[in-house]
Amino acid sequence: MSTVKFMNVTAFKSSINASKLEVVFNKNTNKLSVLADDSFFRCQQNIDTTKPMAFLVPDGILEDACLVNVKNESPLTVKATL
């Protein structure tokens, strides 16, 4: 079973020891990515940088993180644990 964790941008940046994060557009692929020093991470393709953002980290694997818009710190609420 997969688990999903959300990290705020500051915590994610600190966790990967990045000096800065940039949302970049690749004109060859027509896709957005997050550039963190010399590493790339996924990015929601219709991200709105004027709204709250967080990194979705599946199974705690930072390399698979994706920058997404969120309504608050975590849009998920646990309804039941089985």
Across the strands, what pairs with 25? 32
pLDDT of res. 72: 65
Identify whether the C-beta of residue 52 lies closer than 8 Å to the C-beta of residue 67: no
pLDDT tens digits along 49-66:
999 999 999 999 999 999
Is the pLDDT reported for residue 4 higher than 90? no
CA distance 43 to 11: 17
pLDDT tens digits along 14-26:
999 999 999 999 9
Identify whether the C-beta of residue 13 lies closer than 8 Å to the C-beta of residue 23: no
pTM for the complete prediction?
A: 0.82
Higher pLDDT, 74 or 80: 80
